[in-house]
Structure 1
Amino acid sequence: MAEAAILPTTKDEDWRYADGAFLAASDPAAINHWRILEVPAGETRSEHSYHNSGDESAGSVDRLRVHVGKGGCFEAYKIIAGGKYQRIEIEVTLEEGAHFEFGGVTLGGGDKVQEFVTCTKHAHPDATSNQVVRAVQWGQSTGNFLGRIEVARDAQKTDAAQNFRAILLEKGASANTKPELEIFADDVLCAHGAAIGQLDELASYYMAARGIPPEIARKLLIQAFIGDAFEAIGDEATRERMLEQALEQLDTEAV
């Protein structure tokens, strides 16, 4: 009960890029609430979701704890597209031979703050995880990704990766990333990568030289960029639906 009464602040490392005003005005019980998901051994569970609390909303926080049984798989694909502040947090514990696949996209204009926070716990041998996050920001918005990977001493043969890339369409936009690897096993493959920049001007010039209007060229480049986050979705119809939902959120001014 005491834990539920404590509100996080931006002084807490896991909340350092959050909206401090939103946190201060929040209900402690709501902020500290976790959804719980148990994936049985050998089975697969998936979540495909689009998060847009609306431009008039102060924000929302969704926190999920997942335990994946031996040889099981949990897949999560998420889009954050609205709300002044939106945070999706996922904590996953993997048993032997289990897998976690995550693809996330933030799309924000105005002064929105949007973030994914993950903690992947490789607690047993032969587990794998892969995380791909893409951010497209304009106006004064911010896209964040805090990804932590923990590999226990007995979790040999772990294979874990996370990759974050952000495109800033306007000068006032920003992105933050904080990858963390805590590894106690010695026979592992763990990697992370991050890049923040603008649209590829050379590609835009190449497309313009072939008669493609600038606004269409930009949208095609953004489509290819965010498509990376959904590449691992096995069902083509679901993959296309997620991509279409993301593209619908691009302001005409942004492209």
Structure 2
Amino acid sequence: MTHAHLPTLRDEEWRYGNLAALQDMDVAAFENWRDIDVAAGEAVTQCFTLDHQGDADLVRVRVKIGPNARCSLFAVNTGGRYSRMEIVVRVATGGHFEFGGVTIGGGDATREFVTRIAHDEPGASSNQIVRAVHWGKATGNFLGRIDVVRDAQKTNAAQDFKAILLEKGATANAKPELEIFADDVKCAHGAAIGALDQTAAFYMAARGLPPELARKLQIRAFIADAFVALDDEAAQEAMLEQALAVLEERK
């Protein structure tokens, strides 16, 4: 890859990225999209894990959801120096898109989800829930954009980001965007960044739970929100365990 092909911090979708980690990436990786087409009335669910520990891991997904169809994507991002998942979605009338994602880990890594949902037909919906847990000097990012055109009346779209920083050196960034031209819609976004609930930790400690177990239970409850819509209980448990396993690094 030549420097001319690299994104820069002036590109809004890369403003929080670790661009130095992309220096040795093959330019072909930027054209390597995974396409998911969901036919009318069908339902598709897919789970992703980003755990590459090299310099950079880039996963790009394009989703096209037909009328009255549903696509649900879930992801755990525990990658190394820089791991990024991009999702671009178009939703037809009566369709629904669901995304649940977790970034978690320490070190000095940057882990992020970047989504863009296009509502250009009426009566469709989308919901995004992203949770981040980081320590050390790690960073967790969520950049989510929702576009609703003038004819996409009755759109119902939401995105929710929450982060827990276990140490002062960690960082979380959220950049929610709503561009709405229709007037009969329900669209919302929320973002919150904080520390573990010390009152809950004290409560569990008072009942004899070791601090490490109490912390794990708190974090489990926090990230579980991202996988509530995953109907397969075994898959849901597997995603949770993949995320929680990273906590062992911090001991």
TM-score class, shorter: over 0.9
Contact 1:68 1:94 in 2 (8 A): yes
For residues 242-253 of structure 1, the aligned pairs below 5 Å read 242-253=239-250
Cα deviation digits, residues 14-33 of structure 1 (max 9, x gap)? 00011121233322221233
Asked if 1:42 is matched to 2:41, the reply is: yes
One-letter code aligned to 2:127: N
* One-letter amino acid matched to 1:150: D
Q: CA RMSD in A?
A: 1.2
Partner of 1:63: 60
Work out the CA distance in 2 between the residues paired with 1:113 and 1:91. Answer: 21
Deviations 1:15-72 (A, max 9, x none): 0011121233322221233222211111011111211012xx1011011111100001
Contact 2:22/2:55 (<8 A) preserved:
no
Whether 1:138 aligns to 2:131 is no
Query: 2:108 matched to which residue of 1?
Result: 111
Q: Tell me the CA shift for residue 212 of structure 1.
A: 1.1
Alignment of structure 1 residues 29-178 onto 2, 5 Å: 29-54=28-53, 57-178=54-175
Offset at residue 8 of structure 1 (A): 1.2
Q: AA paired with 1:32?
A: E
Give per-residue Cα distances to partners, 1:203-231, cap 9 Å, x unaligned. 10111111111111101000000000001
In the alignment, structure 1 segments of 5+ residues that lack a partner are none
User: What is the rounded CA distance, in whole Å, between the counterparts of 1:236 and 1:26 in structure 2?
Assistant: 36
2:201 counterpart (201, 204, 218): 204
The aligned counterpart of 1:27 is 26
2:237 corresponding residue in structure 1: 240
| 3-state SS of paired residue (2:229) | coil
> In the alignment, residue 23 of structure 1 is paired with which amino acid?
L
**Shift of residue 252 of structure 1?**
4.8
| 1:226 and 2:237 matched | no
Distance, in Å, in 2 between the alignment partners of 1:91 and 1:171 is: 33
TM-score with structure 2 setting the length: 0.96
Runs of 4+ in 1 over 3 A off after TM superposition: none
Equivalent residue, structure 2, for 1:18: 17
Q: Distance in 2 between matches of 1:127 and 1:133?
A: 21
Pick which of 44-53 and 110-119 moved more.
44-53
Q: Helix, strand or coil: the match of 1:121?
A: strand
Q: 1:216 aligns with which of 213, 216, 225?
A: 213
SS of the equivalent of 1:36 reads strand
Corresponding position of 1:7: 6
Please state how far the C-alpha of 1:89 moved relative to its aligned partner: 0.3
